């Protein structure tokens, strides 16, 4: 079994925040791949299904971002999962909007959700970093990530989330380069339009 975690904050007022793009990603994966209904477990919401041959549990921690590790740690212990079985989808300030990069381990770059996960799990889980851009000033970061995506962002956000869902089966086998390549290929036209 693999555990795919979307990071975000639970209340409806946060639903469309940039900080909640991880929740958005796992919601689209669930919809595209016909996962089961969401149910309350592990201090969060879970949905189960298959990606390729792999059984996958999707998890949206409802502990708030800063305590995400509590929920994820509980699920990982219950299923006796190792760090390499866990993939986390989260917002990334250091990537331009619409860009996606995957890495294993490394620093948390001040991301409180990742900080909590690393405290509960260790550091060597896979991270799908979804670019939301940087506001340009460190003092404006909190306001930036806790603000909703603008309507104009939908031109790249919706195709990006669809592409992440389409390519998600690659992540179950650790094929992060194939995942990145497919996402980049599927969103190439949207990204070029935004830049040109």
pLDDT, tens digit (0-9, with 9 covering 90-100), for 132-143? 988 888 888 888
User: C-alpha angle 177/181/185, rounded to 5°?
Assistant: 175
Residues 89, 128 contacting (CB under 8 angstroms)? yes
For the record, the structure tokens of 158 come out as 């919706």
CB-based contacts of 154: which residues, under 8 Å, 6+ apart?
none
Residues 13, 152 contacting (CB under 8 angstroms)? no
pLDDT at residue 144, as a whole number: 87
Strands 86-92, 2-6: pairing kind: parallel
Q: Of the listed 19, 90, 111, 144, which one is catalytic?
A: 19
> For the chain, which residues make up each domain, given as ranges?
2-195
Question: Which stretch of DSSP H or E encloses residue 89?
Answer: strand 86-92
Residues 153-188: tens digit of each pLDDT: 999 999 999 999 999 999 998 899 999 999 999 998
pLDDT at residue 109, as a whole number: 74
pLDDT at residue 191, as a whole number: 52
17 DSSP β-pair partners: 148
| pLDDT of 30 over the 60 cut | yes
- Cα 153 to Cα 55, 98, 158, 187: the distances in Å are 32, 9, 8, 13
- Cα 11 to Cα 15, 87, 104: the distances in Å are 7, 23, 29
Mean pLDDT of the 53-72 span:
95
pLDDT at residue 134, as a whole number: 85
Residues 110-126: tens digit of each pLDDT: 788 889 999 999 899 99
pLDDT at residue 188, as a whole number: 85
- Confidence at 101, pLDDT banded by 50, 70, 90: very high
CATH number of the 2-195 domain: 3.40.50.1470
Mean pLDDT of the 88-100 span:
93
CB-based contacts of 110: which residues, under 8 Å, 6+ apart?
141
104/192 Cα distance (integer angstroms): 28
10 Å Cβ neighbour count for 103? 11
Q: Is residue 19 annotated as a catalytic residue, yes or no?
A: yes
CB-based contacts of 77: which residues, under 8 Å, 6+ apart?
none
- Confidence at 37, pLDDT banded by 50, 70, 90: very high
Mean pLDDT of the 33-45 span:
97
- Confidence at 95, pLDDT banded by 50, 70, 90: very high
pLDDT at residue 195, as a whole number: 44
pLDDT at residue 181, as a whole number: 95
pLDDT at residue 82, as a whole number: 94
pLDDT at residue 190, as a whole number: 62
């Amino acid at each position: 079994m693999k555990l795919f975690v979307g990071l975000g904050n639970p209340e409806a007022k946060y639903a469309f925040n940039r900080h909640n793009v991880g929740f958005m990603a796992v919601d689209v994966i669930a919809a595209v791949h016909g996962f089961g209904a969401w149910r309350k477990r592990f201090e969060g919401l879970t949905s189960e299904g298959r990606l390729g041959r792999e059984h996958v549990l999707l998890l949206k921690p409802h502990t708030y971002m800063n305590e995400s590790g509590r929920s994820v740690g509980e699920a990982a212990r219950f299923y006796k999962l190792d760090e390499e079985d866990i993939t986390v989808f989260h917002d990334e300030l250091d990537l331009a909007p619409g860009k996606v990069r995957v890495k294993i381990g490394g620093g948390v770059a001040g991301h409180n959700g990742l900080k909590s996960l690393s405290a509960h799990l260790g550091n060597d889980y896979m991270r799908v970093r979804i670019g939301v851009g940087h506001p340009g000033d460190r003092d404006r970061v909190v306001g930036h990530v806790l603000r909703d995506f603008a309507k104009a962002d939908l031109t790249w956000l919706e195709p990006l989330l669809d592409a992440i869902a389409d390519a998600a089966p690659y992540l179950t086998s650790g094929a992060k380069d194939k995942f990145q390549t497919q996402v980049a290929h599927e969103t190439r036209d949207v990204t070029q339009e935004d830049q040109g």
